Structure 1
Amino acid sequence: MENKPKDQYWIKSGFINILQNFSGVFFGFAGFYVLVRLLSKHDFGVWTLFISTTTILEAIRSGLLQNALVKYISSTDKKEHPEIITASFAISGIVSVFCITTIILIAPFLSRIWDSPQLVSLLYFYIAIYLFSGMQAQFNGVEQANLRFNGIFITTIIRQGTFFAYVLVCFVFSIHVELIYLVWVQILSALLGMLIAYNFAKDNLVLSRNVSKMWVNKLFGYGKYAFGTLISSLLSGTIDQMMLGALLSPAASGAFNIAVRVTNLIDIPGNAVATIVFPQSAKRMESEGPGAIKYLYEKSVGTTLALVVPVVLFLYLFSGTVIHLIAGEKYNDSIPLLQITLLYCLLGPFGRLFGNILDSIGKTKITFLVVIGSATLNLVLNYFLIRSIGVMGAAYATLISSIAGFIVAQAILRKTIGVNILNTFVYMFQFYPEFLNKHLKPMLKMK
């Protein structure tokens, strides 16, 4: 009976988070499916570069704040929560001012190096989105820290569903689409997302009258490494597309983005597991110690691999058919790119949960150093390999840097909390009969 509430937490939270990640990827993928047919290859490439840039800007704030907010609310007494939340809002305001200033300054420069004049107005209008999404991120962080995920799920549905509905209407009724129109729709969806997130978080959203200097320093001290980790990780995932845009063309960046979009489907279970594991890991480190964290990592990676491996095999075997179905024959050059990106997708669960576990137990500096090393290697390899072999160089660069990062991360986990990589494969194979006997058969009996 004692394990029942824990099982219910993992099943319910896992189900909601998989739904959330699935809906996020579904709407993103469905929107991409329509946009790749609505836009020219050049415009789609420009949109890819815009999304890559704004994703990094969002991560600057998220990395500094979200994990720190979740960690400290999860592991402190409730009476301290108002000071923690207020300190987090204060840091968010400062970071937002910095990022908005950066957008104003770098927009003309980026438009020149990527030969995309419309990028300037896209980024300037994006400032409104940045403000709304910043508030939403704070509200979602408070909800996640209290082990609730319903609001995050609904916010994702509304934000991405609104954007998808617009591009679908344009596609069905053959309405001409300008890139700036897409940004205007994103402003509306970000506003809706912020309001909905507030509604779900408001019961736990208690602020203090003063900003606690101690909590500002504590959140920033923790967040600075988490920030560096997230930025470096995102750069590893987007630098290839950005360098393709600069060294070759926006169209080359768009072709690579198609392969990345397909592999994003594989991130659904990994992202869902990571979201649940983070607050649980922070709690368990306080109450049970490193042994519980070791089990949590091995079990979580094994479960994620059990869900990921069959999908990778299917996509690899039918990569040509998949690319033709989602993007059309004009993107044949994306097929070999997809086959390479699928290989480093198998390493994704190990890396994502490595950072997640170490961050939750306060070892953010180690995560930061590993990820920034991997990102630097990726940057250097991208430059030389793209120049020597073209678009395929970006895929090989990311594969090599992913393997290097994986080896280093596993060595650190073994030394820090005693992780045995072989156990992840044991849990992976145990997942199938366990899921069948523990969850699927009882459901069938109920019917």
Structure 2
Amino acid sequence: MQLIKKYILNFLGRSGSYVFGATIFARLFSFIASLVALKLIDNTELGVVLFAYNIIVFLIPISGFGLHQSLIRYGALLKLKKEKNGLFIYVLKKGILASLIIITLIICASFFIKFKFEGTQLYVIVLSFIILPSFIFEVIRAQFRLQHNNKFFAYTEFSNSTILLLSVFVLSYFFKEIGYTIALLITPLITSFLFIKKLNIDFSSQFKIPFKTTSFWKYGFFTSLSNVVTQLLFVIDILLIGYLQEDAEMITNYRYISLIPFSLLFLPRVFIATDFVAFTEKIYDKVYIYNYVKSYMLFFFLISILIILVSYFFSETILTILDDSFIPFADTFFILMLGIVGIYIFRGLYGNLLSSIGKAEINYYIASVALVLNLISNYYLIPKYGIKGAAITTSILMWFTGVISMIWFWYLYKKMLLKKLG
């Protein structure tokens, strides 16, 4: 218990309570925003918007070709504030151009895809513009973390979710599914505008990155690809349900049944977001890393037991919060909760540790293998078991990717330490 106590105290010492509180509010507001959309918009129309949105969601991590990911890892290795700020300017300028290129490619590609649901192409085109403000928003948040200013990092999360809730309510009420689409688009744009000045960056300063440019871009690219494929592992269920069952209402059902399990992924993300810069700065300190891993895994093992017990005994009660019509899918809900535990104990930790040692490509390879397995499994299980089949596939792969990440990290980390000593 001393390990857990020390782990929590260190987390709080890095303003983790602010990140935790803001994330709780963000998930709550996002959840309420989803409920508002569900109540104000016809299920079938909402299903079409969600189908298009999920196409864009899995591309958002590649915004800016992943340079915001390079900013976090390489920025943590820089010592001077001037250097960190210079790297921010470089990433912002290059990333905006890269994001515009990605948006153009998505729009062009949409004209060559035959969508099953009417209106999908229009929503894909409109929602593709989320990529630019989302990139700017993530770069700003990354810079706050590099400044060890987790309070403002937390404020960005809280503000973004508040703006999302208000805009979804107002715009969905007056403009239905079109309003909901616009709300998703403008939220990161408004939040970015509010916080960029808080960084106190001199944009006229000159800076040359002290790293190999190819290595810098390669790291961000592979990290973004890994995040895209990982995101696709969550999104692919929605896409395949729509493709194999051709029922927009089933898309909505699965989207909302998975809402609570996927929302619970915020907890490991909170700890990792708070600690990533700290353990990257100390990545060569073997004792520190070993103690961090032991503390993290013990803490989330205990949390996982609690989550499993609650979801097992109260699945139907929890689903009634969404709508009584979701009660028949209680088994699907519990299966997804079992999968979340694999992320809690393994994947959330070791995936980020692999990135911390500069091995982002390993995350990409693991996620790519999982994606292939996902497609194969879902093509068999969805026609046979419906959305429960999608849940079974997702849960198994959550455990698979976590355990494989752990094995690869320890192998590469020990190899890295031996190389440093040699």
TM-score range, shorter chain: 0.7 to 0.9
1:258 and 1:316 map into 2 onto residues whose CA distance is 18
Q: Secondary structure at the match of 1:115?
A: coil
Instruction: Tell me the CA shift for residue 398 of structure 1.
Output: 1.2
- What is aligned with 1:143? 144
What's the C-alpha RMSD, in Å, of the aligned pairs?
2.7
> Does 72-81 or 160-169 show the bigger shift?
160-169
- What is aligned with 2:418? none
Instruction: Tell me the CA shift for residue 341 of structure 1.
Output: 0.2
- Contact 1:85–1:206 (8 Å) recurs in 2: no
Q: Deviations over 1:23-51 (max 9, x none)?
A: 22111111112222222221232232233
2:76 and 2:376 map into 1 onto residues whose CA distance is 39
Q: Percent identity?
A: 17
Q: How does 1:7-406 map to 2 (within 5 A)?
A: 7=9, 10-61=12-63, 64-78=66-80, 79-108=82-111, 112-117=114-119, 119-168=120-169, 175=173, 177-203=175-201, 208-209=205-206, 216-248=213-245, 249-286=247-284, 288=285, 290-326=286-322, 328-349=323-344, 350-406=346-402
1:188 and 1:67 map into 2 onto residues whose CA distance is 23
- Contact 1:260–1:338 (8 Å) recurs in 2: yes
Supply the AA of the counterpart residue of 1:85.
F
2:264 and 2:403 map into 1 onto residues whose CA distance is 21
Supply the AA of the counterpart residue of 1:142.
Q
- Contact 1:256–1:391 (8 Å) recurs in 2: yes
1:405 and 1:128 map into 2 onto residues whose CA distance is 31
2:124 and 2:44 map into 1 onto residues whose CA distance is 17
1:149 and 1:20 map into 2 onto residues whose CA distance is 11
Gaps of 5+ in 2: 415-422
Gaps of 5+ in 1: 419-447
Q: 1:91 to 1:294 in 2, by over 3 A?
A: farther
Supply the AA of the counterpart residue of 2:347.
G
- Contact 1:378–1:401 (8 Å) recurs in 2: yes
Supply the AA of the counterpart residue of 2:266.
I
Q: Deviations over 1:367-411 (max 9, x none)?
A: 222222122211221122213332221111112222322332233
Q: 1:215 to 1:63 in 2, by over 3 A?
A: same
1:43 and 1:63 map into 2 onto residues whose CA distance is 32
- Contact 1:113–1:246 (8 Å) recurs in 2: no
Q: Secondary structure at the match of 1:141?
A: helix
TM-score, scaled relative to structure 1: 0.82
- Contact 1:90–1:211 (8 Å) recurs in 2: no
> Does 350-359 or 33-42 show the bigger shift?
33-42
Instruction: Tell me the CA shift for residue 92 of structure 1.
Output: 0.8
- What is aligned with 2:420? none
- Contact 1:274–1:353 (8 Å) recurs in 2: yes
Instruction: Tell me the CA shift for residue 153 of structure 1.
Output: 2.2
Q: Secondary structure at the match of 2:239?
A: helix
Q: 1:400 to 1:218 in 2, by over 3 A?
A: same
TM-score, scaled relative to structure 2: 0.87
Supply the AA of the counterpart residue of 1:407.
V
